[in-house]
Structure 1
Amino acid sequence: MIRERYAHQIAGLREDLLRMGSMVEQALLRAIYALETWDVAIAAQIIHDDASIDDAWRNLEERTIHLLATQQPVVASDLRLCAVVTAIAGELERIGDYANSIAKRVRQATRRPALMTPPPQTQEMGRLALQMVNTSLQAFLLQDVDLAHGLAASDERVDELEDLLRAEVIAIAKGDPVLFEAAVDMLDIIHALERSADRATNIGERVIYLATNSVETLN
């Protein structure tokens, strides 16, 4: 009976982490849409919902600590799972923060004297970052090491796009000083997308550790 309860708690951690992942994916998807459309209502919703992501993160941490303290897992894979759930929840919480940061910048940008249209590559960068978050969660769900390894190539492309976009935004601002503040907003948005991709890669590293008990660096 005690072991049944323990197995149920372990399964619950997995499920709740994936639920949190879904919340974060949704926040990032909406942040990218808000950027493309300058939709301040959606931006405001993302900012409001960030507290729910923080709550989910804290809840997962508390439950993991409680499980370790009261059940004392004896199987090494269960111990790794507890450590990985806590680590991935932390990465997801940060991605939620980046979505929140993009939403705040969108809201701020609409109040500027002039808007800067996001350069075309911003869309590719946003799609890639979102896809990486989704892939990292799929890798966790399936404990698929190959999926996790695939994040490295996507992360390289995101880094390339960040360099291109930074140079382009700075060039636009130099050409039109009225756009200086809008450029600062855009640079922060680009950085938030790049960091989201990095965090997804970190999740991939945790999945590799969970599946193989070995530590690898993907980025």
Structure 2
Amino acid sequence: MIVREDSFRHKGLRQRLVQELQKKGITHPRVLEAIGRVPRHLFIDPSFSGFAYQDKAFPIGAGQTISQPYTVALQSQLLEVQPGEKILEVGTGSGYQAAVLVAMGAKLFSIERQKELYDRTASLLPKLGFLLRQYWGDGYQGLPDVAPFDKIIVTAGAPYVPKELLTQLKVGGLMVIPVGENRQVMTRIRRLSDIDFEKEAFGDCAFVPMLNGIEKK
């Protein structure tokens, strides 16, 4: 995979995007710093690169999309990432959300069911300097052999909250997940004890569906 340049123009466009996200309610300084650092145009098809810093989603192949920057920033803000935390991302997708989390200091483990996307990001992310552990597998199952996690983020619309993921969350940890069928509600779950969980809702959203199993290329 050829990595394109990250020019002064791109960096200027990112700063304008940061300002736009601030106006939309993103306030976490490390989220904004990460959005300002990560070259989003390198995570999408070159045909869309001229629009990369607009607050829009774009197709990335395999029936998936790269989420709009506001959605990435919102999920990252709700996750309350602290440097060094062990975080599970369900749905690597384009790798953009993963890069933002790594830029925020997360120790990231990311799982992707689409082999095409897994292969692409497994090559791209290290070339861009974003180091994490990547897995090709079923997001509904999480990574039980690596658990527990301080935080879990799900980047696809889940019809329900998978119990397997809840069990992999540390007591005191947070999960951010869009829950629903056609449209979802952005939901944050805090694990209070071995059996108790607290849920908060943060408005409607729209994601591609979270699917069971793994998809071979």
What TM-score, normalized by structure 1, do the two folds share?
Answer: 0.28
**Higher relative contact order (Cα pairs below 8 Å, separated by 6+ residues):** 1
What TM-score, normalized by structure 2, do the two folds share?
Answer: 0.29
Name whichever structure is richer in strand by fraction.
2
